[in-house]
Amino acid sequence: MDVIPDYTHSVVEELKALAEAGKLTPDRAQLDVAAKLDRVLGDLRDARPAKKKSALGWLFAKGSGRPKPIRGLYIHGSVGRGKTMLMEMFFKQAATDRKRRAHFHEFMADVHGRVHEHRMKVKNGEVRDPDPIPPVAASIYAEAELLCFDEFSVTDITDAMILARLFTELFALGCVLVATSNVAPENLYKDGLNRGLFLPFIDLLRRHVEVTTLDSDTDYRMQKLANLPVYVTPLGPQADATMEATWHQVTDGAKTAPSEVPRKGRSIPVPAAAGRTARFSFADLCERPLGAADYLAIAERYDSVFLERVPQLGAEKRNETKRFINLVDTLYDNAIRLYVSAAAQPEDLLAERRGTEGFEFDRTVSRLFEMRSADYAALHRQRHRNRSVPPL
């Protein structure tokens, strides 16, 4: 039976133990960032009230007044360098029950919901102060003194305008922020509308967090993804299990939840999404009345798509076949990474090739094979390297 080491309050020690066990490659850049995370862990631990041995123990407590603010951490760098893994280790070990980890856009959606709720209370005469920011910040801090954000990325003007005021309140209350991002703070909301109004948030952020870069020479995410199956056949429990395992590898443990893609007054349901990866069944995308423009909207929002349980395509599925052709064309043209489970290999999916449809499906077969190649994977990485996580 393996002995599980005690990693309590040390990301560095967990990294070293995993490297010694052969589960990770030793990485100096990761260890440097882990040491900074350990500094935050230590500050959080030291800020916790000491357990008193008697009811009068508080009389002997040292010092008075507000505790010294804890400086958080903002980790930025290219994708696949281990930011999510380090965040997971840090969050697990943080010595507080009042902690929250979320993708940044998920957090901001919650903030806007709380702002709306406050305004409704003002409208109904339940509260007098029309300013929602102080009570919203107080309610967030009451639930979490430690906020951890994955994929910090500001793309929405409404978010940009609210951030400085919201975090002025949160930091004043003592909130600690730890975040990962693909961009440095000075590049947040770059070229955004009215960006000058957003710049005070960047100054505020730098005062309250240490900014560090994680740019290892190795893209560990691409190493892991290179050997994953992208086309699984035949259908059955084994194929389902393979797709499930691949999903967890591609999303790297990120939170999965249903979502939707807005489309001219309606929306396209996304049964499961995590970051820039979406998961659909064949029925979701090819048995519903969707067209090329709908598939393009999906491609603009996600750069990896799972398509499960593609059946044998007989004459009775002519409409579904046309949609499947359009879907593959759109994903291919946009260099989207496609993971498929299907009843047969591409060349055997169409039961009978006739006329124009047969010719078009030959192109689909060719593209499905090409989308499994190393060259296509490299093109995908090049095209989507700097895309941010889509807002919810």
What is the chain's length?
Answer: 392
Tell me if 2 is assigned to some domain: no
- Judgement on whether residues 239 and 188 belong to the same structural domain of the protein: no
- Judgement on whether residues 143 and 181 belong to the same structural domain of the protein: yes
Domain count, the chain: 2
Which residue reads 């043209």 in tokens? 333
Average pLDDT by consecutive 10-residue portion of the chain (392 residues)?
A: 50 90 83 95 81 40 60 86 87 92 86 94 91 96 95 84 94 95 88 88 95 72 60 94 90 85 87 94 96 92 95 92 94 93 93 76 90 83 64 43
Q: What pLDDT was estimated at residue 247?
A: 92
Tell me if 4 is assigned to some domain: no
Tell me if 161 is assigned to some domain: yes
Q: What pLDDT was estimated at residue 59?
A: 41
The answer to whether residues 141 and 173 touch, using CB atoms and an 8 Å cutoff, is yes
- Judgement on whether residues 40 and 177 belong to the same structural domain of the protein: yes
Nearest one of 42, 105, 123 to 274, comparing CA atoms: 105
Whole-angstrom Cα distance, residue 325 to residue 13?
Answer: 51
Tell me if 138 is assigned to some domain: yes
Q: What pLDDT was estimated at residue 50?
A: 43
Single out the residue in 186, 213, 240 at which a domain terminates. 213
Which residue reads 């056949």 in tokens? 233
Q: What pLDDT was estimated at residue 99?
A: 96
Single out the residue in 213, 239, 260 at which a domain terminates. 213
Whole-angstrom Cα distance, residue 40 to residue 46?
Answer: 10
- Contacts (Cβ under 8 Å, ≥6 apart) of 239: 232, 233, 341
CATH of the domain at 345: 3.40.50
Single out the residue in 163, 188, 213 at which a domain terminates. 213
Tell me if 6 is assigned to some domain: no
Which residue reads 């820039």 in tokens? 276
- Judgement on whether residues 141 and 173 belong to the same structural domain of the protein: yes
Domain span at residue 123 reads: 11-46+67-213
- Contacts (Cβ under 8 Å, ≥6 apart) of 250: 225, 228, 277, 304, 306, 339
- Contacts (Cβ under 8 Å, ≥6 apart) of 88: 253
Global pTM reads 0.57
Whole-angstrom Cα distance, residue 130 to residue 118?
Answer: 8
Backbone Cα Rg of the chain: 25
Q: Which DSSP symbol is given to 62?
A: -
- Contacts (Cβ under 8 Å, ≥6 apart) of 216: 27, 29, 30, 77, 81, 82
Q: What pLDDT was estimated at residue 67?
A: 63
- Judgement on whether residues 233 and 170 belong to the same structural domain of the protein: no
How many Cβ atoms from other residues are within 10 Å of residue 174's Cβ? Answer: 14
How many Cβ atoms from other residues are within 10 Å of residue 130's Cβ? Answer: 9
Whole-angstrom Cα distance, residue 182 to residue 338?
Answer: 23
Tokens standing for residue 372: 């499994």
CATH of the domain at 158: 3.40.50.300
What residues are paired with 308 via a beta bridge? 281
Whole-angstrom Cα distance, residue 327 to residue 175?
Answer: 45
Q: Which DSSP symbol is given to 5?
A: P
Tokens standing for residue 119: 């305004």
- Judgement on whether residues 156 and 257 belong to the same structural domain of the protein: no
- The type of residue at 224 is K
Which H or E run includes 76? Answer: strand 72-76
- Judgement on whether residues 188 and 249 belong to the same structural domain of the protein: no
Burial of 75 (0-12, 13-18, 19+ CB in 10 A): buried
- Judgement on whether residues 178 and 90 belong to the same structural domain of the protein: yes
- Judgement on whether residues 84 and 120 belong to the same structural domain of the protein: yes
Tell me if 319 is assigned to some domain: yes
